[in-house]
Amino acid sequence: MEDNCIFCKIIKKEIPSAIVYEDDKVIAFKDINPVAPIHILVVPKKHIKSIAELKSEDEALIGKIFTVINKVAEEQGVKEKGFRVIANCGEDGGQEVPHLHFHLLAGRKLGEKII
Ligand code: AMP
Ligand code: ZN
């Protein structure tokens, strides 16, 4: 946990969020500035800055995050129609919050593909 990290504060319930899933290792909550009808952030509780900071010991955690992404997609009713998962990494990747997170976007046709 990092004292001045906004996502650590959400994890510690020091600031409110709309939590849609939580277990001992992973939390998922609604993005405060949604760009799609479903926009949820899936976040490890461990403070890892970004994909670039992952260690081999985090491999199981990343696997778990994708299990949670599927679970949340199913619960939100978007698993069949589809969704997009985005993880911005570092400055050129456009990452604004330096605590690893995966955006789960769904609920509309996501047209603005860059790849
Ligand atoms: P990124 O640019 O990939 O680092 O994404 C950070 C995301 O966190 C943005 O989509 C923000 O809207 C979102 N965000 C920032 N603060 C909060 C908050 N307090 N609760 C929920 N989402 C937040
Ligand atoms: Zn953090």
Name beta bridge partners: 38: 106
Q: Which two tokens stand for residue 2?
A: 């990092």
Per-residue pLDDT of the chain in tens (115 residues, 90 and over written 9)? 899 999 999 999 999 999 999 999 999 999 999 999 999 999 999 999 999 999 999 999 999 999 999 999 999 999 999 999 999 999 999 999 999 999 999 999 998 877 7
Residue 5 alpha carbon to ligand 2 centre in Å: 5
pTM metric for this prediction: 0.97
Q: What is the reported pLDDT for 114?
A: 78
Q: What is the reported pLDDT for 109?
A: 95
Domains and CATH numbers, the chain: 6-106 (3.30.428.10)
Name beta bridge partners: 44: 26
Q: Is 16 in the pocket of ligand 1 (CB under 6 A)?
A: no
Catalytic annotation, pick one of 39, 47, 99, 101: 101
Distance between CA atoms of 19 and 15, rounded to whole angstroms? 12
Distances (CA, A) of 15 to 4, 5, 6, 18: 12, 11, 8, 10
Where do we find the tokens 């992952």? 54
Of the listed ligands, the closest to the CA of 39 is 1
Residue 78 alpha carbon to ligand 2 centre in Å: 28
